[in-house]
Every structure is written in structure tokens, then in C-alpha cells.
A and B are shown apart, each in its own frame.
Chain A
Amino acid sequence: MDGALNDLLSKSEATSAFVLDKGGFLITQCGDTRRFDTTTLGALAAAMYAATQGIASLVSEINFSSVYQQGENFSILVQNVDEHCLLVIIFKAQISVGAVKYYALTTLTLVAKQLQTAQARSPEEGLDLSALNIADTADLFRKKQA
């Protein structure tokens, strides 16, 4: 998946790309991600996309498959990958959104295919989380002492 994102970044000259779960969780990220708070960006981009889907249903559209926001320095494109995931691309404002969309088409297919492969790998097999099984989780988050 990272290979597909890196390929997109090099061809489109976009700054960074993320794959998100529609609940707002970041699955993977590539490119120059240090300058952005990617956790918050993921949550907000997923919410923005979800709101757009709400608007789509109000105007009798099945869905709007992408959301584009143009800025003065950076623009952002959020595209639907599949039922569960989104692709977010951040690129410099002077880059044409058409070019980014064009290169993203291949990426969307590759990412969707990779997600399908991952899901089909062994859907019944869980991850052993027993390492987390500490006796007392009451103090997972501690309050600062006054």
C-alpha cells in the first residue's frame, strides 16, 4: 500500500497521502507528514467526508465520491476507496487537481485491492492481545496532581 502511495506522490508531486478508516483512524501515511497533525487531520477528513455523504443523500445522490478543498498554499482531496476506507491527498495549491485525480485513479484501485487482500488473508484469525492483559487498568490515564 505504501508503494502505491509513494508512486502517486512521485507522479503527481503531491506532498502527502494517507489511507484512513471512515471512522477517522489512520491506517497508513506517506510523504511529508511531519508538518501536519495527521491524527487530527484523519478525524476531520473522515468527518468532512461523512458530512458530504449526508448532503448527497439530501439531494438524492447515492454518494459524492470525493471532496476537494482548494487553499492558498495547500489543497486537499479526499476520495472514497471502498466501503470502509478513504484516500486523502494533500498537494501544493499550484498543482492541478485534475492531474492529482488522474494519478489517484490507479492508486485507488491498488489500495482497494490491497485492502481486500488484507481482509481475505485470514478474517477469523485474531491478534493475541494478551500482552495488554494487566491486572488493573484503573490508572491507564492519570490525573495531574495539584
Chain B
Amino acid sequence: MAIINQATKELQVKIVYYGPAMCGKTTNLVKVHENIQTAREKGKLVSLATSSDRTLFFDFLPIEAVSIKGFKTKFQLYTVPGQVIYNTTRQLVLRGVDGIVFVADSQYEKMAENVESISNLEDNLRTLKMNLADIPYVVQYNKRDLPNVAPVDYMEFLLNNREIQVPSFSATAHQCEGVFETLNMITRMLLHKFINESTRKTA
């Protein structure tokens, strides 16, 4: 759950990148870290990974958006380990999540894994007494540069076919295409959510 620190005028928000194994969640964070334009000191990217560079627990990147009228907005980006066996770890990382980026692998042969992963996300949120419908989230169709990719419409039908369609982005994360578009959309959705909630409460 986001923290609003009234004393320091800070809003701290947690965003989790979720998706099947090897879909590019860590690459998204690496590219944000490498390419972000910031006047402030850049947060460190921490990866708790195995010796073969697979995420074991999570990756973590704290970033601060521009201060708006003296109000600091701090975002903490996390990834989960995609491998099926690490489900308990995914549940731990999801605790207190405010927004989700679902990263899907666009290759045809990965469709079953994408569907399984989004259904696993819903199950894990349920164990935390949360509901995907209540959480701002966006979908990213990654690896669009590969030859055997499924059409975006087909992926939308499979992964973004709920009552309310969420924003989705095509991406090639390793070339940093679509990475910032995805990040800006989820932060925008989160800020709007908090602004609306605060307006309702202060009204």
C-alpha cells in the first residue's frame, strides 16, 4: 500500500513487473536504470539473482519523479521471479503492491505461459485479499523484434479481454522501445488514482 508521508510531503508507491519466465521483466528495469534522465542521484538497481542471472527473489529500483509543487513522488519498481517454482517468492513481492506491469512474451510458443502467468497473478492477489480489477495495471507485449511473434490483436484477446481493457504497449525492451511508455502510463494511472482518492476524502 502506498505511503503518504505528510511530514515530508512524499508519496511512495510500489510497482511490480509480473510475467512468465524470461519475458523481459528484469530487462525493463535495467533499461529504465540505464536510460532515465534525472537531475538527482539515481537509485541503485539491486538484483537478487542466481549465478546464471535468473531472478531468484526480485530486482529493485527506486526512482524519483520530478517534484510537483514541492511534492515528491517516489516509485519503487520490483520484478518477480518468473519461474513457476518461485510462487511463494512472487507472493512476498506482491505484498503492498500499488500498480502492476504485466510483461508478456510475444512469441507464439509462449502464449500458454503468458496465460498461466496472468492467472497465477490473479490467484496470488486473491491470497493477499486483493483483486486485479481494483489495481491499476498495464500490459506490455515484449520481444516484438522477434520473427515468430503473435499479432497484438490476438494477444489482446488472450491477455487483455476483461470488462475494462487496460492500456497495452508493444515493446522491445532490450532496445528500450516501449519501456518508458509503459512506465509513464502506470505511474500516470497511479497518480490519478491517488489524486481522485484524496479529492474524495478531502471533499
What residues make up the interface of A, taking CB atoms closer than 8 Å to B?
A: 21-27, 37, 39-40, 43-44, 47, 50-51, 54, 124-134, 137-145
Contacts and interface: CB of A to CB of B under 8 A. Distances in A.
B195 A126 contact: no
A139 B184 contact: yes
B191 A132 contact: yes
A59 B136 CA distance: 35
Contacts, number: 126
Contacts of A37: 44
Interface of B: 1, 3-6, 11-12, 14, 32, 35-37, 43-44, 46, 57-58, 60, 62-63, 65-66, 68-71, 73, 76, 78, 88-89, 92-93, 95-97, 176, 179-180, 183-184, 187-188, 191-192, 194-195, 197-202
B195 A40 contact: no
Given A137-B188, A140-B66, A129 B194 contact: yes
* Binding site secondary structure of chain A: loop
A47 B202 contact: no
A126 B97 CA distance: 20
A87 to B, nearest CB: 16
A132 B67 CA distance: 9
B62 A126 contact: no
B67 to A, nearest CB: 10
Contacts of A25: 3, 12, 14, 76, 96
